[in-house]
């Protein structure tokens, strides 16, 4: 949560502003070559117009407090962005990290977001800082929420920076081959937004001056970008071959058949695989993968589950990140039709071998097209090798901000088990900021009735919303899942329900003399009913307020009244919640310190009644920027539930600490230790990465699962349940 809030907070504005003009500007094509060295001193740069940067924070619309010269230009091979950042005081120089994809408010950020398809919905971001680190990410759904930003997307591009006597200079170079776009006889139009975040002043200077009417994600919105026309550029069709070799060793300890001792199983590994990326046309990219392995991916964050529903873990594997928005088919909360973690990860969270697969994605005319098929090993002995296939199409319709689409999914194994689903969806911009979303899906599986003309295997979702931050905003959604609805490639918290969700809010963007930047009051409500048992499973009513100061502090507070019907008892640590009806109230409050300070902290607390007892939940996340090479992050959560009438209680401690050392932008080491008292485990993870350039990586990874209380079971638990050491090397050939 901290990382998502960083860039959304640093680009917040003070007042609303009318929609920017959609006038198309001819981008500057370079007549001479650029020497790519991080110095903006070539004659070719001097003829490029300077972008008219304006201040967003803290004084919207004013001239920036620090001078800059930002230029964008292109040639037949690259799109360039350069900046001369002048600092009136040497203490304003902030280059505090070398980390790839860093979300770090203590450093300056400079770069741009590009709507390469000019579809007003999707964008690609390229940012750096004084140390020359690279941050790239993808935004979709017109940056509607923080969840619309993916930080795991990566591509091929370069950056050079230079420290000067009066500030720093930067050159960013993005190959046209890394930007998927449509050209007509060498001409294309793209949307662009560029900004400079001055960490020492909590200031953001931006071009064009994008409004904040839609909240902290406003600066990411492709629909608000300045349109640029590029002539004499053509979509490339590069071929990238990326083989890998992996050597590893794994130790696991399993209970013997007599349950008297744990036996050690040693499993040395030596494997190889291959990824291929090729542009079939200027707009369609094919990815092939053989013996896919994700050993280098960072371990999941441990979580404590205080609900009776399954936990949701985000996707971290890069293969599933590129243009992931094409396959997005989401309902309310975390619920979605396609959840990529179903592929290659079983229900216990353990990896499943991926034999290989293919992915095709791109844009044809006004249509987005996506196809994915993967073959995996059987996740359990009772199943056969499984195939996962997804076909997705979306087309711009009615206006540039509206889409209609369809999706088909199929999961099957060699034993004849199958689960299929098809769906239709639409996002319609009715007028202004008013949007209507609708989804219809049906699933079919062996052992089910599979009636086409029935609501039993169907999922329905309809939502009307006003996408604003300032002034009045609202959202009303209806959702239904039939009794035979079973999307085995998706994620669903509940079964057989009808639900209503609503939100009403009013936001204020404060004036120049106010110490506050913005504030918002809201009222959220939700109602979920199981139509088989006729019981109201959940109902919530939550009023609250949130605010942010111009110096970067933010606070939020709310009170939530909940009604829950528990159909079956479930456990929370040493306590059990019996079946029955419950009503309880909790008070929540949280705060964030300014992201620009070298030491910062996030805190959150929830106290109040909890089912038939009481709950206290406190979370703290400190961070300390020791130097530009060394960074320390921590997290601690304490939960205490007590049920005096039943003489039961539970307590949990969840702790995470991460120490990162970065020699430069190429070499990094990350040590990550987690502790979960409910599972009574320590989870250490060590990753060493050498990344001389994009596509070439050497990883050394160590993972372990340690029992903190070995005597809690008989026979006594082993010190380690599973220990893995892996060395993986990948090299990309560009053909």
Strand order in the sheet with 28-29: 28-29, 68-74, 78-86, 167-175, 158-164
Q: What is the pTM of this model?
A: 0.85
> DSSP of 513-564, one letter per residue?
T-SEEEEEEEEEEEEEEETTTTEEEEEEEEEEEEEEETTS-EEEEEEEEEEE
Q: Please give the structure tokens belonging to residue 656.
A: 């995470």
Core vs surface per residue 670-690: b (16+ CB within 10 A) or e: bebbbbbbbbebbbbbebbbe
Sorted by sequence, the CB contacts under 8 Å of residue 612 that are 6+ apart come out as 577, 578, 580, 582, 643, 645, 646
Quote the Cα angle for 136-75-121, to 5°: 40
Q: Please give the structure tokens belonging to residue 455.
A: 């609501």
- 9 pLDDT higher than 70: no
Quote the CA–CA distance of 181 and 175 in Å, as a whole number: 12
Terminal CA-to-CA distance of the chain, rounded, Å?
40
- Between the alpha carbon of residue 190 and those of residues 80, 176, 183, 184, 419, the distances in Å are 14, 12, 10, 13, 40
Quote the CA–CA distance of 735 and 236 in Å, as a whole number: 12
Q: Look at residue 126 and give its three-state secondary structure.
A: strand
- Return the pLDDT at 22: 64
- Return the pLDDT at 6: 41
Quote the CA–CA distance of 613 and 598 in Å, as a whole number: 40
- Return the pLDDT at 7: 40
Handedness of CA 376, 380, 385, 390 (dihedral sign): negative
- 18 pLDDT higher than 80: no
| Band of residue 323 on the pLDDT scale cut at 50, 70, 90 | confident
Specify the DSSP class assigned to residue 21. Answer: P
C-beta separation of 175 from 156 below 8 A: yes
- Return the pLDDT at 190: 96
Q: Please give the structure tokens belonging to residue 329.
A: 């088919």
Q: Is 610 exposed, middle or buried (0-12, 13-18, 19+ CB in 10 A)?
A: buried
Tell which wins on pLDDT, 505 or 214.
505
Domains of the chain: 2-231 (2.60.40.1190)
> What number is the average pLDDT over the span 218-244?
90
Question: What are phi and psi for residue 164, nearest 5 degrees?
Answer: -120, 175
Kindly report whether the peptide bond that precedes residue 70 is cis, defined as omega within 30 degrees of 0: no
- Return the pLDDT at 502: 97
Quote the CA–CA distance of 244 and 524 in Å, as a whole number: 49
Quote the CA–CA distance of 306 and 328 in Å, as a whole number: 27
| Band of residue 531 on the pLDDT scale cut at 50, 70, 90 | confident
pLDDT digits (tens, 9 = 90+) for 645-697: 999 999 999 999 999 999 999 999 999 999 999 999 999 999 999 999 888 99
Rounding to the nearest 10 degrees, give the CA dihedral for residues 223, 226, 227, 233: -120
Quote the Cα angle for 219-223-224, to 5°: 45
| Band of residue 198 on the pLDDT scale cut at 50, 70, 90 | very high
Distance from CA of residue 335 to its chain's centroid? Answer: 15
Core vs surface per residue 250-281: b (16+ CB within 10 A) or e: ebbbeeeeeeeebeeeeeeeeeebebbbebee
Quote the CA–CA distance of 440 and 449 in Å, as a whole number: 19
> DSSP of 571-596, one letter per residue?
EETTEEE-SEEEEEEEEEEEEE--TT
- Tokens 């609805």, located at residue: 485
C-beta separation of 327 from 390 below 8 A: yes
Question: What are phi and psi for residue 711, nearest 5 degrees?
Answer: -90, 5
C-beta separation of 86 from 68 below 8 A: yes
- 578 pLDDT higher than 60: yes
Q: Please give the structure tokens belonging to residue 248.
A: 């590893």
Kindly report whether the peptide bond that precedes residue 87 is cis, defined as omega within 30 degrees of 0: no
Q: Helices H, strands E: what count in the chain?
A: 2, 41
- What's the mean pLDDT when you consider all of the chain? 91
pLDDT digits (tens, 9 = 90+) for 48-79: 999 999 998 888 888 999 999 999 999 999 99
- 416 pLDDT higher than 60: yes
pLDDT digits (tens, 9 = 90+) for 77-99: 999 999 999 999 999 999 999 99
């Amino acid at each position: 949560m901290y990382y998502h809030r960083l860039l959304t907070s640093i680009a917040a504005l003070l007042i609303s502003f009318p929609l920017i003009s959609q006038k198309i500007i001819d981008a500057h094509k370079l007549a001479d070559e650029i020497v790519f060295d991080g110095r903006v001193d070539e004659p070719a740069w001097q003829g490029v117009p300077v972008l008219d940067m304006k201040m967003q924070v803290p004084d919207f619309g004013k001239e920036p407090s620090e001078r800059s010269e930002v230029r964008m230009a292109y040639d037949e091979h690259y799109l360039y962005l350069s900046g001369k950042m002048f600092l009136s005081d040497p203490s304003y120089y902030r280059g505090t990290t070398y980390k790839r994809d860093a979300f770090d408010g203590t450093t300056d950020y400079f770069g741009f977001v590009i709507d390469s398809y000019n579809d007003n919905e999707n964008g690609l971001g390229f940012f750096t800082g004084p140390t020359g680190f690279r941050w790239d990410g993808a935004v979709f759904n017109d940056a509607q929420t923080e969840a619309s930003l993916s930080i795991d997307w990566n591509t091929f591009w370069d950056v050079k920076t230079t420290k000067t006597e009066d500030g720093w200079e930067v050159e960013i170079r993005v190959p046209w081959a890394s930007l998927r776009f449509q050209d007509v006889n060498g001409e294309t139009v793209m949307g662009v937004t560029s900004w400079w975040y001055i960490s020492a002043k909590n200031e953001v200077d931006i071009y064009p001056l994008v409004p904040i009417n839609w909240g902290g994600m406003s600066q990411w919105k492709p629909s608000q970008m300045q349109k640029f026309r590029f002539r004499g550029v053509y979509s490339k069709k590069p071929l990238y071959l990326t083989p890998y070799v992996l050597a590893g060793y794994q130790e696991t300890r399993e209970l013997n058949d007599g349950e008297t001792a744990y036996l050690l199983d040693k499993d040395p590994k030596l494997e190889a695989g291959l990824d291929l990326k090729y542009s079939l046309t200027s707009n369609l990219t094919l990815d092939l993968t053989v013996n896919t392995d994700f050993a280098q991916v960072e371990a999941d964050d441990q979580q404590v589950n205080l609900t009776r529903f399954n936990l949701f873990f985000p996707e971290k594997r890069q293969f599933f990140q590129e243009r992931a928005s094409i396959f997005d088919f989401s309902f309310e909360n975390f619920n979605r039709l396609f959840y990529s973690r179903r592929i290659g990860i079983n229900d216990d969270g353990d990896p499943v071998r991926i034999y290989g697969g293919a992915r095709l994605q791109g844009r044809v005319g006004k249509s987005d097209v996506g196809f994915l098929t993967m073959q995996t090993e059987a996740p359990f002995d009772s199943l056969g090798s499984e195939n996962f296939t997804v076909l997705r199409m979306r087309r711009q319709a009615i206006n540039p901000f509206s889409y209609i689409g369809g999706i088909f999914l199929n999961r099957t194994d060699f034993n004849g088990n199958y689960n299929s689903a098809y769906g239709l969806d639409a996002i319609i911009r009715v007028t202004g900021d008013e949007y209507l979303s609708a989804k219809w899906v049906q699933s079919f599986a062996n052992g089910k009735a599979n009636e086409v003309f029935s609501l039993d295997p169907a999922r329905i979702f309809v939502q009307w919303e006003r996408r604003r931050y300032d002034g009045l905003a609202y959202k009303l959604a209806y959702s239904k899942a039939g009794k035979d609805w079973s999307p085995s490639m998706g994620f669903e918290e509940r079964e057989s329900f009808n639900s209503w969700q609503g939100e009403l809010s009013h936001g204020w963007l404060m004036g120049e003399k106010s110490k506050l930047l913005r504030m918002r009051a809201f009222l959220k409500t939700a109602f979920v009913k199981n139509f088989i048992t006729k019981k109201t499973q959940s109902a919530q009513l939550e009023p609250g307020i949130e605010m942010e100061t111009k110096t970067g502090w933010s606070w939020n507070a709310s009170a939530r009244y909940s009604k829950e019907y528990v159909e079956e008892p479930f456990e929370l640590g040493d306590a059990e919640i019996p079946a029955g009806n419950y009503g309880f109230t909790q008070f929540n409050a949280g705060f964030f310190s300014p992201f620009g300070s070298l030491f910062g902290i996030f805190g959150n607390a929830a106290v109040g009644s909890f089912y038939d007892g009481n709950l206290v939940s406190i979370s703290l996340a400190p961070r300390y920027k020791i130097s530009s090479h060394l960074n320390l992050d921590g997290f601690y959560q304490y939960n205490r539930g007590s049920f005096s009438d039943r003489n039961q209680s539970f307590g949990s401690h969840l702790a995470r600490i991460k120490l990162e050392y970065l020699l430069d932008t190429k070499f990094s080491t990350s040590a990550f230790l987690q502790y979960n008292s409910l599972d009574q485990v320590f989870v250490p993870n060590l990753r060493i990465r050498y990344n001389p350039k994009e596509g070439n990586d050497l990883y050394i990874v160590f993972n372990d699962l340690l029992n903190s209380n070995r005597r809690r079971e008989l026979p006594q638990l082993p010190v380690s349940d599973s220990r893995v050491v892996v060395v993986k090397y990948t090299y990309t050939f560009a053909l």
